[in-house]
Chains A and B, each alone.
Chain A
Amino acid sequence: MRRLEPAAIAGVMSREVANFRTYWRGTTFSSVLEPIVYLLAFGLGLGATLVNEVEGVPYIQFVGTGMVATAVIFSSALPAMFGTFVKHRFQNTYEAILAAPVDVEELVTAEMLWIAARSAVYGCVPLIVTFFWGLEPAPGMLLVPIFCFVTALSFAGFGITMAAIVAKIDQFNYVTALFVTPLFLVAGTFFPISGLPEGIQVVAQFNPLHQLVELVRGGAFGFETVDIARFAGLVLFAFAMWRLAIDRMAKRLID
């Protein structure tokens, strides 16, 4: 039997699909409602009172396109962290899966693919919602699910890695405070990175969420040549996180 067998990956994903059928309503409800609330709060609140336009774009559309990244990180990193931890430590699900002809590489790959596929859908919700506030559909937007998918892959890998590293579920508070929140706040979702101090601007270039925000805005308002490099960077990051997640989970799951 060879490595990364599609049948093994499909088998693990079929378990996720079977479970998702039992909780999709709640997850979908929050994934749709959250961006709407943010859009109303920031886009309409700030947009109506303090900011009209940012970089030549109506503020609500600026926020709406940026919110795609927020939806992606919250629908990938958090489920990967908590879901993996619970399945491994509380439900012993991975023990059962690994007793079948499935190895850790296939297990982690399937989990990442499933989370990324879901995030690619949920990531598009803010964009669709923003259509109701005047955002014009553009052909480049068809690439947004792909951008979301690749970024979500990396954050799923990140979440799985964290789940393999932490000793207790409470320690996710550190992960959220130290990584998730800062990444989300300096992604350029609510304000342009160019307004930040120069040092932070440089750091922000290494933030995958910022690259996603730029790509989504490229899809909505016009791509630039540098977007190819941005996408390549996201692919490389996703690959690195995939291998890291496999390595960490193998150390956690195999004695």
Chain B
Amino acid sequence: MPAIELSGVVKRFGPITAVDGLDLEVPEGICLGLLGPNGAGKSTTMRLLTGQAIADAGRLRVLDYELPGESKPARAEMGVVPQLDNLDVDVTVEDNLSVYARLYRVKDLGAAVDRALDLARLRDRRRDAVDQLSGGMRRRLLLARGLVHEPRLVLLDEPTVGLDPQIRTELWTLIGDLKARGTTILMSTHYIEEAERLSDEVAVMHKGRVIARGRPADLIAEHAGSQTAEVYAAPQRLTELRSAVEETGLRVRPAGPAIAIVGAEAAADGVVPADAVMRAATLEDVFVLLTGEEAE
């Protein structure tokens, strides 16, 4: 039984279709990265899964519960880590956790809070108010709060958005631990590196639907080949080069101040300039080619 099954899900906000016929299946025990640019429908999908948005069409099943009718028992077995820090800042670390343990009907509150404190590595700060914690500690607490009831399924909504690299790495370690314990994870992100490092599979979402899915390595092989050539030059030369390369059938994408020639291993002699920097193809190449958006 998949942990999440969405078929033909549509969600509109007035004239805007945020989710447009979304089909998505998340097997138990994997970490699926939902990768997409801003506005791709990732957060709306998360809200649909927690019953905070009701689909206009389609079928949603989570942990064998039909949504939205059985959303409440489904939520009892899932944990959610939101994009925005919504901890109670004046309240102690311990109280933040115990309130949510109560909301999730945890029987042994003390044990659950201790376990969450250990997970967040905040046992020695348990009696401190949240506003006395560093940014990294707060994010760890937010993650621990979503796991206080040991859920079978965890929804991570852009878990590291806006964080500095050190805090991001700390969280990746915690998410990695969670994966190792076999918890099913659905993680929305628009950070390529995050999706690549943490996900068993990645689903690329664009304009409200999944446009590609697979293991990161398979997606790269399928859509970007093995080699990418980056060329750094003046804008005029890049424009001319791009036209010339595209005429040979290769795909070219913008890469900040450069252009990236994808699938460069298949290029005929002389197509890739000698001053190009060759590198292995990445998920970023796939993402930009499929969505047309610059990656972060």
Contact = CB atoms under 8 A, between A and B. Distances in A.
Interface of A: 1, 7-8, 10-12, 14-15, 18-19, 21-23, 91-93, 95-103, 253-255
10 contacts: A7-B102, A11-B102, A18-B99, A19-B90, A96-B145, A99-B50, A101-B76, A102-B72, A255-B52, A255-B53
Contact of B84 (A92, A97, A255): A92
Given A10-B102, A18-B95, A19-B88, A101 B73 contact: yes
Given A22-B91, A91-B86, A92-B82, A97 B103 contact: yes
Contact of A98 (B44, B51, B84): B51
Interface in B185-207: none
A23 B90 contact: yes
Interface residues of B, number: 32
A113 to B, nearest CB: 15
Contacts, number: 86
Most buried by B among A18, A21, A92: A18
A101 B106 CA distance: 12
A15 B52 contact: no
A91 to B, nearest CB: 6
B49 to A, nearest CB: 9
A22 B52 contact: no
Contact of B99 (A14, A99, A101, A255): A14
A14 B102 contact: yes
A253 B82 CA distance: 15
A1 B73 contact: yes
Contact of B82 (A11, A19, A99): A99
A13 B250 CA distance: 61
Interface string B66-91: 00000011011000101010101011
Contacts of A95: 52, 82, 84, 86
Contacts of B75: 99-101
* Complex A-B, nearest 9 residue pairs according to Cβ-Cβ distance, in ascending order: A99-B80, A11-B103, A92-B86, A100-B103, A11-B102, A255-B53, A101-B76, A22-B90, A18-B95
B288 interface: no
Given A10-B102, A101-B75, A101-B105, 17 more contacts: A1-B73, A1-B76, A7-B102, A8-B103, A11-B103, A11-B105, A12-B103, A14-B102, A18-B92, A18-B98, A92-B86, A95-B86, A96-B100, A96-B145, A101-B103, A255-B11, A255-B13
Contacts of B44: 255
B86 A93 contact: yes
Given A7-B102, A93-B86, A98 B52 contact: yes
Contacts of B145: 96
B178 interface: no
A185 to B, nearest CB: 34
B54 interface: yes
A91 B47 CA distance: 17
A189 B73 CA distance: 48
A253 B47 CA distance: 11
A22 B86 contact: no
Most buried by A among B11, B44, B72: B72
Contacts of B102: 7, 10-11, 14
